């Protein structure tokens, strides 16, 4: 298996980054939704919050790696068997997903470090704060993080459903190229 993309198939690096980011996004979303429902005084809340922060920073790193990989190394995503409109929509959805995969965890990082406290990464090291946010900006960032967090999950689910549609209904190999 080639590490780089070919015209007919995604390479190993693109696949690993894609599926890692997908797993991180859905894991963080599940954890975040549980934390919202459980509330601050739930037994596992603080442990879940620390895991959510760590996974968020990991997803930010993976998203930035994927963007860099696509810009510098990888060939354009293979979009065979799609109409012009589907190809355009796929490109815009991919761009939107990557944009959200950067904005949502970055907002989470700003929230976590707003009071000049770093983010502990599984006790291995601490990611330091970059800027102190006034409470009013922090409140806005919390709202952006919350709503765009749901937004990235909705767009990712739409992306997955479109891949299944292409594979099962259209009988093209869109999904197979990423598996």
Residues 21-73 have pLDDT tens digits of: 999 999 999 999 999 888 888 889 889 999 999 999 999 999 999 999 988 87
77 occurs within a structural domain: yes
Spell out where 58-174 has E strands.
Answer: 119-121, 125-127
Structural domain including 52 reads 12-169
Separation of alpha carbons 78 and 86, rounded Å: 13
Separation of alpha carbons 31 and 36, rounded Å: 9
| Total of domains in the chain | 1
1 occurs within a structural domain: no
Q: Nearest Cα to 98, choosing from 129, 137, 71? A: 71
What value, to the nearest 5°, has the Cα angle with vertex 13 and ends 10 and 17? 100
pLDDT digits over 117-163, tens only?
A: 999 998 899 999 988 889 999 999 999 999 999 999 999 999 999 88
87 occurs within a structural domain: yes
Q: Is the pLDDT of residue 107 over 90?
A: yes
Q: Which band of pLDDT confidence, cut at 50, 70 and 90, is reported for residue 164?
A: confident
Separation of alpha carbons 79 and 9, rounded Å: 10
Q: What values do phi and psi take at 126, rounded to 5?
A: -120, 130
CATH number of the structural domain spanning residue 69: 1.20.950
Using the structure block, give the residue that is written with the tokens 């980011």.
Answer: 21
52 occurs within a structural domain: yes
Stated length of the chain: 179
**pTM for the whole thing?**
0.88
Separation of alpha carbons 28 and 166, rounded Å: 27
135 occurs within a structural domain: yes
In the prediction, which pLDDT does 138 show? Answer: 94
144 occurs within a structural domain: yes
């Amino acid at each position: 298996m080639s590490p780089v993309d070919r015209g007919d198939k995604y390479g190993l690096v693109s696949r690993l980054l894609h599926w890692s980011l997908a797993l991180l996004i859905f894991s963080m979303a599940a954890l975040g939704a549980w934390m919202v429902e459980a509330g601050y005084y739930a037994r596992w809340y603080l442990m879940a919050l620390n895991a959510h922060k760590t996974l968020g920073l990991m997803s930010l790193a993976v998203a930035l790696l994927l963007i860099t990989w696509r810009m510098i190394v990888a060939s354009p995503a293979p979009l065979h068997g799609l109409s012009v409109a589907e190809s355009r929509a796929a490109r815009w959805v991919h761009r939107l997903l990557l944009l959200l995969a950067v904005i949502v965890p970055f907002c989470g990082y700003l929230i976590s470090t707003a009071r000049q406290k770093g983010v502990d990464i599984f006790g291995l090291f601490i990611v330091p704060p970059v800027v102190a946010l006034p409470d009013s900006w922090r409140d806005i960032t919390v709202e952006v993080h919350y709503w765009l967090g749901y937004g990235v999950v909705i767009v990712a689910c739409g992306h997955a459903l479109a891949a299944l549609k292409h594979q099962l209904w259209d009988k093209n190999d869109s999904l197979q190229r990423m598996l």
